[in-house]
Amino acid sequence: MTAYNAPTRDMHFVMNDLGLLPAIQKLPGCEDTNTELVDAVLEEASKLAGSVVAPINTTGDLEGAALENGVVRTAEGFSDAYQQFVDGGWNSIPFDPDFGGQGLPWLVGIAAEEMWISANTAWSLCPMLTMGAVDLLSEHGTPDQKATYLDKLISGEWTGTMNLTEPQAGSDVGALRTRAEPEGNHYRIKGQKIFITWGEHDMTDNIVHMVLARTPDAPTGSKGISLFIVPKFLVNEDGSLGQRNDLRCVSLEHKLGIKASPTCVMSYGDDGGAIGYLVGEENRGLNCMFTMMNNARINVGLSGLSIAERAYQQAVAYARDRVQGSGPDGEPLTIIRHPDVRRMLLTMKSSIEAMRALVYDTATILDQSRREQDPTAQKAAQGRLDLLTPVVKAWCTDLGVEIASMGVQVHGGIGYMEETGAVQHLRDSRIAPIYEGTNGIQAQDLVARKVLRDGGAAAKDYIDEVRMLCQALADAGGDTAASLNTHLSAAADALTETTDWLLEDGSADVSRAFAAATPYLKLFGTVAGGAMMARSTLAAQAALDGNTGDPDFYTAKLMSARFYADNILPQAAGLIAPIRDGYHAVLGAAEDSF
């Protein structure tokens, strides 16, 4: 596997040239988040990612995590790298300063997180899960709970986990059976949870499990689920660690990838019941969880981008080095000069740049939704965030797999061999379309909750903005802007037409909308990526016209956008028929015919 070099130049471009940092600086508490500060933070992060976290990615994959007598031994170097991460304060970027956080915007947190995931996806999942626990407790914890857990989780001294899934309860989380019996000021938790990421490990002294369970008289289904804090070690009044709680990791899964990330079967209460503390109200656990999940979905979408970036860097390095064939004068040709290889690399590059811009823009909107003081602006940001979250999650993770697979293809035969590391990216990427709500669930969420529920208002606002970008492209001049305007306009038309169809036919029969959901989300993502490419083109063209900055860099940005315009956006119109007519066969096929 080749080295990882954080793409700080493109990060800087997205944050500054696309106007994200200027928007952030208008938010209360973010006035000082300026370019210099952010560049400095990311420069430091890139050192840790490149020199400490990335080098243990391959070895972690080979070694995996092992369960020995109830203890999970992590791969060589993982614990050291984690300690350096904690010592550097990297876990605390976007969190509340009252509990030791740095109070920086999510935008900065996301950019740093991109680096951890690119460097080492398996390792990065541990802080990603902790972030979820921090989110939950920050939003729903009591002052006491916050005082007990938040400092340690925000510093990274302890890690957090999410315990939702049970064998019979996956996408249908309402089917879960883990029990919680009240006992004094706490509950006794009994049950088994599966697929618990970093559920047990040897990197920290304590692990704080966030567990969904049912109280004895809870209603059935998703309305009878409560959320509990269940620490591995109970915490004494003075904050020191007390007795071991009644929970354990009983086995680890054997997975296609992210092998160094222990995926645990967790058993609670084999010895009488694990002690758990209610978060929020009884039976409102799923609502609490949803606060966290939306944020987590953006993080998982980010992981699609991050693995794609790593796969791309590796593919480019190979393509620059590998000679096959010769040029017109008999000189050896590196494969980066073969048109079909360039096509693959540009597919990867332009998709990555579109994803990065989209994810960072969404992170900026997340910051706005949390910090805007003006209720109208806050509401607008929240609506946009809700709309884009399933798109970011599903579109970026599907692309992540596609791009990692293309990275293998660039390598030819040697790419299929584990020694190159190209296939590790493919293996690692394949989980992201599944967890944190499968991409099918994301698509359902998009059509049902984000488009149909408000009568298409948020979607149409978004499309209006895309059309304004098209107008700006028309005014900008240049070949790239012209091609992008043509294809983005056509794609926006397709999105309008299918949104109208959803509002008409899809609301008349929601199973038609569900049959259309996945191609609709793909269309939405393609347009959203195109919109970011439009903003990128406008910025790059302005920089070139104004002779500011490095012309090679801005020319390359135009080239990525041009590729996206000519090659990716034209696929949008091909999704109209699947959305509009797909239900005929999808709903019509007899069950026995499969």
37: contact with its own copies by CB under 8 A:
no
Distance CA 479, CA 520 (A): 29
Return the residues of window 124-183 that contact its own copies according to CB under 8 A. 165, 168, 170-172, 175
323: contact with its own copies by CB under 8 A:
yes
Token pair of 389 as six digits: 């979250």
Three-class SS of residue 557?
helix
477: contact with its own copies by CB under 8 A:
no
Stretch that binds its own copies, among 127-135, 292-300, 301-309, 338-346 (CB under 8 A): 338-346
- Give least dist CB 296 to its own copies, A: 15
544: contact with its own copies by CB under 8 A:
no
CB of 155 or CB of 518, closer to its own copies: 518
Return the residues of window 218-277 that contact its own copies according to CB under 8 A. 253-257
Among 448, 503, 544, 559, binds its own copies (CB under 8 A): 559
508: contact with its own copies by CB under 8 A:
no
588: contact with its own copies by CB under 8 A:
yes
DSSP string, 227-247: EEEEESEEE-TTS-EEEEPSE
66: contact with its own copies by CB under 8 A:
no
Q: Quick check: is 436 catalytic?
A: yes
Contact 186, 277 (CB under 8 A): yes
Q: Read off φ and ψ for residue 270, nearest 5 degrees.
A: -65, -20
CB of 55 or CB of 170, closer to its own copies: 170
* Residue 377 to residues 26, 137, 341, 528, Cα–Cα distance (Å): 12, 26, 45, 21
Q: What mask of x and - would describe binding to its own copies in positions 486 to 505, judged by CB under 8 A?
A: -x------------------
From the candidates 436, 497, 504, 591, which is the catalytic residue? Answer: 436
For residue 247, the tally of other CB atoms under 10 A from its CB is 27
Return the residues of window 69-108 that contact its own copies according to CB under 8 A. none
Token pair of 310 as six digits: 């790593």
Paired sense of beta strands 207-213 and 186-197, if any = unpaired
Distance CA 51, CA 59 (A): 14
Distance CA 488, CA 508 (A): 29
457: contact with its own copies by CB under 8 A:
no
Q: Of all helices (H) and strands (E), which one includes residue 532?
A: helix 510-545
460: contact with its own copies by CB under 8 A:
no
- Give least dist CB 408 to its own copies, A: 7
Among 100, 390, 519, 525, binds its own copies (CB under 8 A): 519
Instruction: Give the number of residues in contact with its own copies, rule: CB under 8 A.
Output: 98
Q: What is the 3-state secondary structure (H, E, C) of 157-179?
A: CCEEEEECCECCECCCHHHCCCE
Stretch that binds its own copies, among 48-56, 131-139, 359-367, 439-447 (CB under 8 A): 439-447
Distance CA 118, CA 440 (A): 25
CB of 44 or CB of 566, closer to its own copies: 566
Non-local CB neighbours of 509 within 8 Å, separated by 6+ positions? none
Return the residues of window 181-220 that contact its own copies according to CB under 8 A. 194-195
Residue 586 buriedness (CB in 10 A; 0-12 / 13-18 / 19+): middle
Stretch that binds its own copies, among 49-57, 200-208, 315-323, 384-392 (CB under 8 A): 315-323
Return the residues of window 383-422 that contact its own copies according to CB under 8 A. 401, 405, 408-409, 412-419
Q: Which residues are catalytic?
A: 436
